[in-house]
Amino acid sequence: MLDEMQASRRQALKLFSSIPLLPLSGASAASMLMTACGGDSDTTAVTPPGTLSFESASFSSMAAPSISDPYAMGTTSVGSALNVKLSDGTTQNFKLAYKPFFITGDYVPDGKGGYSLSGGYVDINNKPILDTSVAGLERQFFSDCADGTSLINLDKATVSGIKGKAVFAVVQFEYTSNNQAGQSMYGQLPSPIAVLTLDQDQATGKLTLVKYHNVDTSAAHMLWITCGASMSPWNTHLSSEEYEPDAFTASSDAQFKAFSKNVFGDETKANPYHYGHMPEVTVNPDGTGSIKKHYCLGRISHELIQVMPDNRTALMGDDASNSGLFIFVADKEKDLSSGSLYVANVGTGFSIDPAAPGAALTWIKLGSATSAEIEKMADTLKPSDIMTIATKDPADASYTKIFLSGKTQWIKIKPGMEKAAAFLETHRYASFVGASMAFTKMEGTTVNVKDKIAYSALQNIQGSMIAGDAANNPAYNVSLAKKLSAGGVMAHTLTGGQKDLGGAAINSEWVPVLTKALIIGEDITKDILGNTANPDKIANPDNLKFSEKLRTLFIGEDSSQHVNNFVWAYNIDTKVLSRLISMPAGAEATGLVVADDVNGWTYIMSNFQHPGEWISTMDAAAKALVNPIVNSNYKNKFGCAVGYLTAEATSIKLSKV
């Protein structure tokens, strides 16, 4: 009898490998399913599931918070559920909840018996950077803007104190909004990156923070405004440096001078060409991390990069006005230190109507380079060595008119400086060679491997994308009749066998060749709460992640049109859009991670940043009610959360299998 029961259990447990199991706040899904199969006591027979398997998953949507519940508006609010359908028609329902690891500014374990300040800032010598703006309240700066995150599972971890299995999360902090005196600190501090060692309970999937390690970024000249991130197929964290500093104006730019002062103690020492690149963090088995910065992926407004399954092709977000669609094809697998950089040329037919057929994409090669050679150029070249620029028409045929950051310039490349221009002045050079530098804030990217479709978020569809706008160039083939401030998500068909516009083969099977709208938002007249985009549709999408197992695109908002920003789940087969979580009013949803299988558990992670940064249209009465809630939960708006979606064990309802 015992042998029969054990065999039946083994059959039942085979089922778990195919079913998405969210981490639970109570008893394990495995034990509950075993109970549903017939019990797990020594005297109860287990009915084997036979050929039972996972069939599909869907999410039940939650309502947007309203003024009737100001607490839900002022904190993370979750009222959604994951519904897992099995092959016999039965369903498991997981009610979702949000669990933070910490609120920035908390002291968390450093793994050595001491504590670290979460989100804390340090300078080039790894010394704390102090906020001295209010006498008597001096303290180390910490971030209210947690952003890009990766969840990494290593085969062999050596961190002490682990009771289950070690899982690592890499978290980067984009900026801090204000000092204690209320003055803006945006872009004036070097962005920290931390490795979190998490203890994964093997019965429940629950993650508990046991070690916080601040990565030493001094060898990479420190980091500039790190935004979205992704995990590479080879288990590293691919970071970003957004809104690259303009090298032609950096010496007189107050923001960059303050950054230099805080990093080096000297407002003239920072080199703008060291920033605007793609850093990569490698996690070590002991819970520490190391960093290197890749200089050969173009100096653009790096957002969320997506490396394709070939381990070589990278699609990159470019979060700027007059931005472009860029890909990088590495020379070797799992090595981004050398390769070729391309930028898209958009064909006719570009539309944001999801029913439209879309527009063809062709590719201009900007150049091939190694990271080492571009870093050397960054070390030694001044912007005037690379090109001459004019902000007014010089009436000189040797200059070329370009579009940059919503404005026009005229540039002339110095002889022999094409490669330096391509990799250090990438936006200017891409416009110079005729690429479609037409997009507004092309942000997060992700890939649907099975269907060979990549997705890119357009936070806004306005400005340079609209016919008649001063930043619009009709030759780019992106000239829409009307703006859509709420933005949308574009889908790109991927294939191989492509050549660049110079006739040379592109050595990749994952090249975007067609772009069309997948899902868009809707601008509205201001509603009673202050939303200027339909709260039941996406608005200003930013972070994107795709789950192959769930067949679902996850969308995180950075919206100035929703009073509360949301994370959405969009099933690409059923076309159903479900709201999963609401962030505190004024906060941006960041750090989106969807991990289908981490030791058998499915994780949906999300952070948020700058709670209480109200949109200008928010109802004054709602603001007055919500403000004290935000202040009491998030350190008077100086803190933000790093965490993940979990499931309540009591919500699982299993039919007899």
Number of C-beta neighbours around residue 89 at 10 A: 8
Q: Which residue has the tokens 């978020």?
A: 457
Given this model, what pLDDT does residue 370 score?
98
CA distance 282 to 119: 19
Given this model, what pLDDT does residue 623 score?
98
At 134, which amino acid appears?
V
CA distance 430 to 420: 12
Which helix (H) or strand (E) segment holds residue 29: the answer is helix 29-36
Residues 6+ apart with CB under 8 A from 304: 148, 227, 228, 229, 230, 240, 317, 443, 444, 445, 446, 543, 544
How far CA 252 is from CA of 248, 257, 276, 534, in Å, comes to 9, 7, 18, 41
State the chain's maximal CA–CA distance in angstroms: 93
At 66, which amino acid appears?
S
Among left, alpha and beta (phi > 0; psi -120 to 50; other), residue 30 is alpha
CA distance 650 to 657: 19
Given this model, what pLDDT does residue 87 score?
85
Given this model, what pLDDT does residue 16 score?
44
CA distance 239 to 148: 7
Q: For residue 544, with 0-12 CB atoms within 10 Å meaning exposed, 13-18 middle and 19 or more buried, which class applies? A: buried
Among left, alpha and beta (phi > 0; psi -120 to 50; other), residue 435 is beta
Mean pLDDT split into 10-residue runs, the chain, 657 residues: 42 46 60 42 40 84 97 97 88 91 98 96 98 98 98 94 97 98 98 98 94 98 97 98 96 98 98 98 98 98 96 95 97 98 98 98 98 98 98 97 96 98 98 97 96 98 97 97 98 98 98 98 98 98 96 97 98 97 98 94 95 98 98 98 85 42
SS3 14: helix
Given this model, what pLDDT does residue 33 score?
47
How far CA 599 is from CA of 30, 100, 168, 198, 351, in Å, comes to 13, 21, 12, 13, 42
0.85 exceeded by pTM:
yes
